[in-house]
């Protein structure tokens, strides 16, 4: 066993011995399916701390000739698959952590340093099969394959770190991509190439330098959706095991919506919340808000408005196809939003092609980024939201209307009212602080239509539920009548407790006091 050639299984062994290990070995069934096929090139991009490196350690333990891992997989999903023994520890594995090479190369060329140290290790096992003066890794592997027929599995971690940390050096990036293409593309010695990073494959011009790779990203994880984060079933099991509330866990860490799995949870945060028995910002605490702030402040038309709308609970249409898969070249606001999806600050609904803020943890990160400049008017609305909720719970419709008037004045330059949908977004923003105790659901299905906004209290609170109906250029009486006539409260059949009916109207002709509000209290069972 070695460092780069045929690593041992220590990394995976440590993972399964941890207090919390969620079985993701079923992914190996898919990589086995891809071995020695046109689909053998796999590029998986996910946000940081979403289990990318752990997956690579698992694959190394499974494929590497440098260890005997049969006992490590006992009791896990892959053990039940018919391909388990066929490929177990049968390949020469080359494991490359590009972050380490980038750090250690210093003034040397990254790829030159990589080839030198990896070839030095390969020479210990296969030195008699290639000339001592050979310095090109691809040439070394070609000769080994020609002499022995042995195939290699390539596992590349942090493949995109050159793009992220050397953003200004286009030449270095191109050289690095050419190196990977020469090493991997159309090479007979490649049985499987699995690489991970935060960004999908970098594009240059019309074509990608690594166009042989199938990409599995946060805009389309395809067959690997189950292994992107924790699924709803997995989180329910953890909540039961650690006696943590499942609904509250979802409000904090759920929201990364994929095609098949509509509820994907942040694994880092869930693990920490279970271990510490406390909900908090665990994923975002691993990096400062400075990572988010520069992108929020980019001067693209409509970007600020879109961010405010998402803070208010709205989903925003986004074209993810123009993004060049780097962190430097942005042409439109869609490129910025797409990057935020890949970084994990936004979630993406591929069916509707919409981006949104996924959960409470991420909402707080946006708040932190806004608090340090450029968003003062929005921050004033957010800070006033605590009092607005208090006035609502007290049934003070007049004070609620006055607070909404003030909130509208603050954000009028960013957010324009033109229909009930934009009004709904503004209401979500004005009631920002309610997310501490409520789950906000827009367009809540009632059987006889949709309530505009429903505030469902989280289990740890004793607050009433709110059913909010919004009207644009009508009356609050119309709003309240619709709630009652369509029996919106019956949709809360699983909820037992007090309900507040809230009708809000916006009158564009009344510039001084455009909002009116009525609040009624009812008891449900």
Same domain, 95 and 53: yes
Asked if residue 458 is part of any domain, the answer here is yes
Measure CA of the first residue to CA of the last residue in the chain; give whole Å: 67
Asked if residue 293 is part of any domain, the answer here is yes
Output the pLDDT for position 287. 62
β-pairing verdict for 152-157 and 92-97: parallel
Asked if residue 223 is part of any domain, the answer here is no
Same domain, 112 and 243: no
Asked if residue 1 is part of any domain, the answer here is no
φ, ψ dihedrals at 133, nearest 5°: -85, 0
Same domain, 308 and 439: no
Residue that terminates a domain, selected from 369, 392, 407: 369
- Do you know the residue count of the chain? 525
Structural domains of the chain, count: 3
Write out the chain's pLDDT in tens, 525 residues. 789 999 999 999 999 999 999 999 999 999 999 999 999 999 999 999 999 999 999 999 999 999 999 999 999 999 999 999 999 999 999 999 999 999 998 777 899 999 999 999 999 999 999 999 999 999 999 999 999 999 999 999 999 999 888 888 888 888 899 999 999 999 999 999 999 999 888 665 444 678 899 999 999 888 999 999 999 999 999 999 999 999 999 999 999 998 888 899 999 999 999 999 999 999 877 665 567 888 888 878 889 889 988 988 889 999 998 888 778 778 899 999 999 999 999 999 989 999 999 999 999 889 888 888 778 888 989 999 999 999 999 999 999 999 999 988 888 777 776 666 777 888 888 898 888 888 888 887 876 777 888 998 887 788 899 999 999 889 999 999 999 988 888 878 777 778 999 999 998 888 778 999 999 998 765
CATH of the domain at 467: 3.40.1350
Output the pLDDT for position 513. 87
Strand spans (E) along 394-461: 438-445, 450-457
- Cα-Cα-Cα-Cα dihedral sign, residues 472, 474, 480, 483: negative
Asked if residue 471 is part of any domain, the answer here is yes
Residue that terminates a domain, selected from 313, 342, 369: 369
Output the pLDDT for position 508. 82
Same domain, 29 and 64: yes
Asked if residue 375 is part of any domain, the answer here is no
Rounded Cα distance between 523 and 58, Å, is 53
Same domain, 212 and 234: no
Asked if residue 346 is part of any domain, the answer here is yes
Asked if residue 164 is part of any domain, the answer here is yes
Same domain, 259 and 289: yes
Same domain, 77 and 128: yes
Same domain, 200 and 341: no
Range of the domain at 318: 230-369
β-pairing verdict for 190-197 and 41-45: parallel
Same domain, 340 and 450: no
Rounded Cα distance between 281 and 368, Å, is 12
Our CA angle for 35, 230, 15, nearest 5°, is 70
Same domain, 446 and 328: no
Output the pLDDT for position 489. 83
pTM recorded for the entire structure: 0.90
Residue that terminates a domain, selected from 369, 392, 420: 369
CATH of the domain at 90: 3.40.50
Same domain, 152 and 240: no
Same domain, 195 and 291: no
């Amino acid at each position: 066993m070695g460092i780069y050639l045929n690593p041992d299984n220590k990394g995976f062994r440590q993972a399964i011995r941890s207090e919390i290990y969620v079985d993701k070995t079923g992914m190996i069934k898919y990589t086995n399916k891809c071995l020695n096929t046109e689909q053998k090139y796999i590029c998986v991009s996910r946000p940081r701390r979403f289990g990318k490196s752990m997956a690579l350690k698992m694959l190394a333990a499974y494929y590497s000739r440098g260890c005997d891992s049969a006992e490590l997989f006992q009791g896990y999903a892959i053990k039940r698959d018919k391909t388990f023994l066929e490929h177990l520890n049968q390949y020469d594995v080359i494991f490359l952590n590009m972050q380490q090479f980038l750090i250690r190369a210093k003034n040397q060329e990254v790829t030159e340093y990589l080839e030198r140290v990896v070839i030095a290790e390969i020479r210990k096992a296969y030195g008699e099969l290639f000339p001592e003066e050979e310095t090109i890794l691809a040439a070394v592997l070609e000769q080994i394959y020609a002499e022995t027929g042995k195939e290699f599995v390539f596992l590349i971690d942090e493949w995109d770190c050159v793009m992220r940390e050397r953003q200004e050096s286009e030449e270095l990036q191109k050289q690095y991509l050419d190196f990977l293409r020469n090493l991997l593309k159309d090479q007979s010695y490649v049985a499987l190439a699995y690489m991970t990073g935060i960004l999908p494959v970098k594009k240059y011009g019309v074509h990608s330098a690594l166009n042989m790779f199938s990409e599995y990203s946060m805009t389309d994880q395809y067959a690997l959706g189950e292994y992107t984060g924790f699924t709803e079933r997995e989180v329910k099991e953890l909540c039961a095991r650690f006696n943590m509330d499942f609904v509250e866990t979802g409000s904090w860490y759920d929201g990364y919506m994929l095609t098949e799995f509509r509820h994907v949870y942040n694994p880092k945060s869930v693990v920490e919340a279970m271990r510490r028995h406390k909900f908090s910002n665990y994923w975002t605490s691993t990096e400062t808000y400075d990572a988010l702030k520069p992108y929020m402040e980019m001067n693209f038309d409509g970007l600020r408005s879109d961010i405010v709308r998402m803070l208010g609970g709205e989903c925003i249409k986004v074209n993810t196809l123009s993004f060049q898969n780097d962190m430097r070249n942005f042409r439109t606001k869609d490129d910025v939003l797409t990057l935020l999806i890949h970084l994990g600050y936004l979630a993406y609904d591929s069916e509707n092609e919409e981006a949104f803020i996924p959960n409470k943890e991420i909402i707080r990160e946006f708040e932190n980024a806004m608090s340090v400049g450029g968003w003062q008017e929005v921050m004033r609305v957010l800070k006033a939201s605590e009092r607005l909720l208090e006035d609502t719970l007290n049934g003070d419709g007049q004070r609620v209307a006055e607070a909404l008037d003030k909130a509208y004045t603050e954000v009028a330059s960013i957010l324009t009212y033109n229909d009930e949908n934009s009004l709904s977004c503004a209401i979500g923003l004005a009631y920002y602080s309610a997310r501490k105790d409520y789950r906000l659901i827009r367009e809540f299905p009632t059987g006889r239509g949709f309530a505009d906004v429903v505030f469902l209290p989280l289990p740890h609170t004793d607050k009433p539920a709110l059913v909010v109906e919004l009207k644009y250029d009508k009356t609050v009486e119309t709003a309240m009548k619709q709630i009652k006539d369509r029996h919106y409260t019956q949709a809360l059949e699983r909820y037992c407790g007090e309900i507040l009916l809230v009708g809000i109207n916006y009158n564009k002709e009344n510039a001084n006091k455009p909002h009116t509000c009525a609040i009624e209290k009812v008891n449900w069972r």
